[in-house]
Homo-oligomer: A and B are copies of this chain.
Amino acid sequence: MTKVDRRILKSQQALKKAIIDLMSEKKFDDITIQELSDRANVSRGTIYLHYMDKYDLLDKLIEEHIIELRVLCRSAAELDFIGATLIWTEYFEHNYSFFSMMLASKGAPYFRNRFLIFLHEEFRNEVNVTQGINQGLDEDVIIRFVASAYVGVVEWWFTNEKPVPHHVLAEQLGTLLERNI
């Protein structure tokens, strides 16, 4: 991975933060490019040096987080579900503004489904229908079951503004996964 000029990182970072900010204030479609560049304190043209348009920016932002979550999955491969989930909830906590916007408010329609698909991919590696607790069940059914449940709980957590500390969420969610996979 060749080193990236810090100006590029700064511009992109500012734009990502700006879009998260703005999306928590108004509908995505109502955000203008001018607003975006103003908020990011960046020239309007700079946006087009990095992204096709605001949809591309949002796409890339979402994709980055999905990729990061995938990396976390790999690094948590050794752990049990509680430990693995803790790593995730720490990541949620650390990127609170993004996930909160994406799961609790205006951003919902863009991210939710992407997140669900991703969870499908991940749980597919975990589920075993040839033996153990899920023997005889349909693989797609059980995957869909846990993935939906997972998204639902995380959604609940953000919508209700962290009703429990993230490590409690991890523990309980981990326990529930353990019970089903």
Contact = CB atoms under 8 A, between A and B. Distances in A.
A80 to B, nearest CB: 38
Contacts of A42: 6
A97 interface: no
Interface residues of A, number: 5
| Copies held by the complex | 2
Contacts of A41: 6, 10
Q: Is the interface of A mostly helix, strand, loop or mixed?
A: loop
Interface in A4-48: 6, 10, 41-43
A6 B39 CA distance: 13
A72 to B, nearest CB: 25
A106 B43 CA distance: 38
A19 to B, nearest CB: 19
Contacts of A43: 6
A6 B6 CA distance: 16
A3 to B, nearest CB: 13
The 4 nearest A-B residue pairs measured at CB: A6-B41, A10-B41, A6-B43, A6-B42
4 contacts: A6-B41, A6-B42, A6-B43, A10-B41
